[in-house]
Every structure is written in structure tokens, then in C-alpha cells.
Amino acid sequence: MHILVCGGAGYIGSHMAKMLVGLGHSVTVFDNLSTGHRQLVKWGRLVEGDLLRPADLKALFDRERFDGVMHFSARSLVGESIRDPDLYFQNNVTGTENLLRAMREAGLQRFVFSSSAAVYGNPAKGLIDEAHPTKPINPYGETKLRVEEILQSRAAEHGLNSVSLRYFNAAGADPQGETGELHNPETHLIPNVLRAAKGECALQVFGNDYSTPDGTCIRDYIHVNDLCRAHLLALEYMEKKPGAHVFNLGIGKGFSILEIIRAAEKVVGKSIPFTYAPRRPGDPPVLVADSTLARKTLGWQPEYLDQEEIIRTAWSWMAKDRFKL
């Protein structure tokens, strides 16, 4: 297959491109490099362009034929979305609408969307399944939910087949160390814990007064390669089952921030200092996935269940100084 990977110069997109090429598929990466990195496009061909410029998309689809699109292009910082919601709706919603319009004009009907657990907001129960109410508490989550709603409409109106994958917390890196997280600024917990271990930053834990056993937020951390495998299964699933579909992706177990820090200390072999800071707006105390539907329907099984193993893959990437920002 020839797959268009939008946002393939970023964290998850670069891992996806590597996996696709490793399985013998052709990849074209479409990225404006605003948050992605040219040096991470090692698999497939890079086409620089912007989803907010329809002419860029028309030129791409006029020139190339694709068998499916994987969409990783989104702004994804909760705090930034609260400060500038218009930026998020323009990039995440309008950009996606432009992409879907270009796909329709090209007659392309298979679309895998990177959604988020942020669509759920504050959980009403322990394990969150797809039937849980969707009540985002920040603009980032609102944009993801809005795109899911658009995909439902496009399925009914134009026959677009789509799978929205609601990620919980993506973590880890390519086990071979060829790609990994490279954000600026870095807001994800595990890379910041490991940066603190290297002495590159002062680690802050935002809030220690949540209603959790140790007072810090609990999240479901899922390895990036497990996410990518779900995308491949989603492409196959759409061949058998048309329409718009939604699946959670997580391992079904939560870890607190302090538990992650302790696990990282075991990986790096030393204590990692940190300080407490006030809560960040828009952070729910607990987010843990019930991924039963993805397991049963897609046949998906996460391979990385041990947090130390996930952190070890991130550490092997971050221990390298090749891509300092």
C-alpha cells in the first residue's frame, strides 16, 4: 500500500512511518515542520505542506495516489489550547476538514485519525470505555471530539470510512533508538523525568493534592509502537467494516506521576530530583482506558505492559545527544 502520513515528521508519525516501511509499504510524509523535524523523516518521502493551505493538498493528491491516510497533524498541548483556543480549532479542525475535502475529491475513502482520551474530560468511573460520556474540559479535547463528529457525518454523507483512535498517554520510543520524542517545549512526563535525570531541566510535578493514593495524577501510559500497530489493524478493519468507528487505546492500568518517577530512577540508576508546582488547568486526576473493544474488534494487543520497559526505550533514545533542541 501507499500510505499518506500527515504529521510524519513528529513523534508518533515518525514511528508509524518506520513501521509501515518495515512491512514493505510505501510512505509519503506530509508535514509543515512547525512542530515536526526534518531529521525524523527517515522512512518515506517528505512533502512539505500545510493542511491550512488547500492548494498544497490539491497539488499532493493530483500528483500521488494513496490507499489510505493516517492523520497525526495536530497541536496537542492542553495549556496552549486554553491560552489560544482559536489556534487549536483552526489547526486541528479546519486543517482536518481541508484534508477530508481533498481526500473526497481524490476518491480516497480510508482515514485513520489520532484522537485522544481528552474527549472524555473528567472520568465518571474507573475504567473509561467508548460509551463513557464525552465532555472535554479543554479546547484541545474539544477539537478532537469535533473531528470525530465530522467523521461520523462524512460517513453518512459521503461514504468515508474512518477509525478514530483515542490515545491515552503515548510513551516510549523506537526500541532501536532511531526515532523518539523531540518536542519543544517538552510537556510529556516521561521525557521530562529523563531530562531531569540528565540534568537538562528542573522537574516539576503539577499538583500533589488530587484525590489519588499519592496525590498526583494517574495516567495510562501506552508505548508508541503499540499505538502504531493499532493503526495498521484499523486500516485492515475498514476493508471489512465501512463507516466511522472509535476505539480506545491504553493498557488498562494507571500509574501516578510519582510511580513513573520511581520507575525511571530504577532505569537510570539514580535519584531524580523534583519539586511540586500548582495544578495545571484542564488536567483530570485519573485517566485509564478500557480497551476491550479494540482488543476484541481489531484483534489488538499491547505488547509493552511494563512501565520500566517503556521508560527504558525512551531512555535509550534520550541518552543520545544527536537531536538536542
Catalytic residue numbers, as ranges: 140
Indicate whether 325 pLDDT > 50.
no
pTM of the predicted structure, to 2 decimals: 0.93
Q: What is the pLDDT of residues 4-30, one digit of tens each?
A: 999 999 999 999 999 999 999 999 999
Answer for the pair 289, 250: CB distance below 8 angstroms, yes or no.
yes
Which three cell numbers, joined as nine digits, stand for 178?
A: 532511531
Q: Which of 216, 181, 176 is nearest to 195 (CA)?
A: 181
Strand order in the sheet with 2-6: 45-48, 26-31, 2-6, 68-71, 110-116, 161-167, 244-249
What is the Cα–Cα distance from 261 to 272, expressed in whole angstroms? 7
Q: What is the pLDDT of residues 251-274, one digit of tens each?
A: 999 999 999 999 999 999 999 999
Query: What percentage of residues in the chain have a pLDDT greater than 90?
Result: 85
What is the Cα–Cα distance from 132 to 62, expressed in whole angstroms? 41
Res 296: pLDDT: 97
Single-letter amino acid, residue 199: G
What is the Cα–Cα distance from 91 to 50, expressed in whole angstroms? 10
Residue 184's pLDDT band (cuts 50, 70, 90):
confident
What is the Cα–Cα distance from 171 to 181, expressed in whole angstroms? 8
Question: With the CA atoms of 160, 248, 29 and 42 taken in that order, what torsion angle do they form, in degrees rounded to the nearest 10?
Answer: -150
Q: Where are the domains of the chain?
A: 2-171+221-249, 189-219+252-318
Res 123: pLDDT: 85
Least confident of 68-77, 91-100, 119-128, 149-158: 119-128
Class of domain 189-219+252-318 as given by CATH:
alpha beta
- CB neighbourhood size of 210 (10 A): 19
List Cα–Cα distances, 175 to 53, 94, 111, 268, 318, in angstroms.
35, 35, 27, 16, 12
Q: Is the peptide bond before 185 cis (omega within 30 degrees of 0)?
A: yes
Res 282: pLDDT: 67
What is the Cα–Cα distance from 123 to 248, expressed in whole angstroms? 14
> Is pLDDT larger for residue 49 or for residue 126?
49
Which three cell numbers, joined as nine digits, stand for 196?
A: 531531569
CATH superfamily assigned to domain 2-171+221-249: NAD(P)-binding Rossmann-like Domain (3.40.50.720)
Q: How does the average pLDDT of the chain come out, rounded? A: 93
The radius of gyration of the chain's CA atoms, rounded to the nearest angstrom, is: 19
